[in-house]
Structure 1
Amino acid sequence: MRSKFTHVFSPIKIRGIDFKNRIVLAPPSPNLASTDGLVTPEFVDWFRMFARGGVCTLYVGNCSIDITECKDEAFQLDLSDDRCIFPLTLYADMGKQYGCHASFEINHNGENTAFETVGHPPYSSSPNISSSEATRAATLGRDPIPAIEMTHKKIAQTVEKYADAAARMKRAGMDICLVHGGHGNLISQFTSPLYNHRTDKYGGSTENRASFAIEVCDAIRRKVGEDFVIEFRISADEIAEEGMHFEETLELIGLLKDHIDILHVSAGLHSDFNMKYYRNWCQNYMMDRCFNVHFARDVKKAYPDLLVTTVGSITSIEYAEEIIANGWADFVAMCRPLMADPDMPRKYAENRPEDRRPCLRCDTCVKHLFIPKPIYCAVNPISGMTSELRDGVVPKVPVKKKVAVIGGGPAGIQAIQTLLDRGHDVTLYEKSSSLGGNVEGAAILPFKVDCQDYLKWLKHTAAQCEAAGAKILFNTDATQDILDTENYDAIIIAVGSDPIIPSSIPGIDKKHVHWAPDAEADKNLVGDKIVIVGAGAVGIEAAIEFHDEGKNVTIIEMEDPEKSFFKLMESSGTSAMEFQTILKDKGIPIKYFNRLKEICDDKVICDNLETGKTATYEADTVLLAMGMRSRTDKVEELRHCAPETNVYIVGDCQKVGTIGTAVNQAFQAALHI
Structure 2
Amino acid sequence: MNNYPHVFESIRIRGVDFKNRIEMAPPSPNRADRDGRVSREFIDWFKPIAEGGTAMIHVGNSVIDRAESSDEERQLDLGTDGCILPLSQFAEMCESFGCQASLEINHCGMDSDPLRIGHPAISASAIITPAEMERAKASGREPIPTMEMSHAKIKETVDKYAMAAYRCQKAGMKVCMIHGGHGNLISQFASTLFNKRTDEYGGSLENRARFCIEVLDAVRAKVGENFVIEFRISADEIHPDGMHFEETLQFIELIKDKIDILHVSAGIHGDFAYMRYWWQNSMMDRMYNVHFAADIKKRFPDLLIATVGSIMNIKDAEEIIASGKADFVAMCRPLIADPAMPRKYALGQEEDHRPCIRCQYCGKRLIMPRVIGCAVNPLCANIDEFPYGKIPKAELKRKVGVVGGGPAGIQALLTLCERGHEVVLYEKADQLGGNVITAASPKFKIDMQDYRDYLIRQAEKSAGTIQLNTEVTAEMLGAEQFDALILAVGADPLIPNLPGADLPHVHWAPDGEMGRVAVGEQVVIVGGGAIGIESAIELTEKGKQVTVLEMAPDLSNLFMTASGTMQDLLEKVEALKIPVITSAKLKSIDAQAVYYEELTTGTEHTLAADTVLLAVGMVPRHQLVDELRQSAPPTEVFVVGDAIEVGNIAEAVNSAFKIAVHL
Say which of 556, 567, 585 aligns to 1:577: 567
Once the 2 structures are TM-superposed, how far is the Cα of residue 478 of structure 1 from its aligned partner? 1.4
Equivalent residue, structure 1, for 2:660: 670
- 2:489 pairs with 1:472: no
8 Å CA contact 2:41, 2:387 repeated in 1: no
Equivalent residue, structure 2, for 1:330: 327
Say which of 381, 401, 405 aligns to 1:404: 401
Equivalent residue, structure 2, for 1:16: 15
Equivalent residue, structure 2, for 1:544: 537
Equivalent residue, structure 2, for 1:454: 451
Once the 2 structures are TM-superposed, how far is the Cα of residue 36 of structure 1 from its aligned partner? 2.0
Q: Give matches, 1:175-214, under 5 Å.
A: 175-214=174-213
8 Å CA contact 1:190, 1:203 repeated in 2: yes
8 Å CA contact 1:105, 1:180 repeated in 2: yes
Q: Give matches, 1:164-175, under 5 Å.
A: 164-175=163-174
SS across alignment from 2:59: coil
In structure 2, relative to structure 1, the CA distance for the partners of 1:141 and 1:636 (3 Å cut) is closer
Once the 2 structures are TM-superposed, how far is the Cα of residue 220 of structure 1 from its aligned partner? 0.6
Render the CA deviation track for 1:109-162: whole Å, top value 9, x for unaligned: 111113222222211111122222233334444433322111222111110000
8 Å CA contact 2:177, 2:232 repeated in 1: yes
8 Å CA contact 2:530, 2:563 repeated in 1: no
Say which of 483, 492, 503 aligns to 1:489: 483
Equivalent residue, structure 2, for 1:657: 647
Q: Give matches, 1:390-539, under 5 Å.
A: 390-465=387-462, 469-502=463-496, 504-522=497-515, 525-539=518-532
Once the 2 structures are TM-superposed, how far is the Cα of residue 583 of structure 1 from its aligned partner? 2.1
Render the CA deviation track for 1:533-591: whole Å, top value 9, x for unaligned: 00111100011112223322211112222xx52x3336438522321222233332322
SS across alignment from 2:60: coil
Equivalent residue, structure 1, for 2:346: 349
8 Å CA contact 2:428, 2:471 repeated in 1: yes
SS across alignment from 2:363: helix
- 2:215 pairs with 1:222: no
Q: Give matches, 1:73-152, under 5 Å.
A: 73-152=72-151
Task: Give distance in 2, aligned partners of 1:168 and 1:573.
Answer: 41
- Counterpart of 2:382, as a letter, is M
In structure 2, relative to structure 1, the CA distance for the partners of 1:462 and 1:524 (3 Å cut) is closer
Task: Give distance in 2, aligned partners of 1:585 and 1:62.
Answer: 36
- Counterpart of 2:502, as a letter, is D
- 2:369 pairs with 1:372: yes
Detail structure 1 runs of 4+ shifted over 6 Å in the superposition: none
- Counterpart of 1:320, as a letter, is A
Once the 2 structures are TM-superposed, how far is the Cα of residue 612 of structure 1 from its aligned partner? 2.3
Task: Give distance in 2, aligned partners of 1:140 and 1:309.
Answer: 40
- 2:586 pairs with 1:589: no
Q: CA RMSD in A?
A: 1.4
Equivalent residue, structure 2, for 1:607: 597
**TM-score, normalised via structure 2 length:** 0.98
In structure 2, relative to structure 1, the CA distance for the partners of 1:140 and 1:400 (3 Å cut) is closer
Equivalent residue, structure 2, for 1:27: 26
SS across alignment from 2:232: strand
8 Å CA contact 2:406, 2:436 repeated in 1: yes
* Count, aligned residues: 663
Render the CA deviation track for 1:590-649: whole Å, top value 9, x for unaligned: 222212111122211113332223222222221111111111111111111111111111
- Counterpart of 1:472, as a letter, is I
Between stretches 46-55 and 613-622, larger displacement belongs to: 613-622
- Counterpart of 2:547, as a letter, is T
- Counterpart of 1:517, as a letter, is P
Equivalent residue, structure 1, for 2:551: 558
Task: Give distance in 2, aligned partners of 1:604 and 1:525.
Answer: 18
- 2:278 pairs with 1:288: no
Render the CA deviation track for 1:237-270: whole Å, top value 9, x for unaligned: 0001111100110111111110000000000001
8 Å CA contact 2:182, 2:237 repeated in 1: yes
- Counterpart of 2:630, as a letter, is H
- Counterpart of 1:620, as a letter, is D
SS across alignment from 1:381: coil
**TM-score, normalised via structure 1 length:** 0.96
Task: Give distance in 2, aligned partners of 1:178 and 1:229.
Answer: 9
In structure 2, relative to structure 1, the CA distance for the partners of 1:408 and 1:139 (3 Å cut) is closer
Render the CA deviation track for 1:161-206: whole Å, top value 9, x for unaligned: 0000000010011111110000001000111111112222211221
Task: Give distance in 2, aligned partners of 1:4 and 1:240.
Answer: 40
SS across alignment from 2:559: helix
- Counterpart of 2:536, as a letter, is A
Equivalent residue, structure 1, for 2:308: 311
8 Å CA contact 2:398, 2:421 repeated in 1: yes
- 2:334 pairs with 1:340: no
Render the CA deviation track for 1:38-71: whole Å, top value 9, x for unaligned: 1111111111111011111111111110111111
8 Å CA contact 1:364, 1:573 repeated in 2: no
Equivalent residue, structure 1, for 2:631: 641
- Counterpart of 1:629, as a letter, is V
Between stretches 540-549 and 40-49, larger displacement belongs to: 540-549
Between stretches 304-313 and 550-559, larger displacement belongs to: 550-559
Between stretches 332-341 and 519-528, larger displacement belongs to: 519-528
Task: Give distance in 2, aligned partners of 1:570 and 1:328.
Answer: 31
- Counterpart of 2:538, as a letter, is E
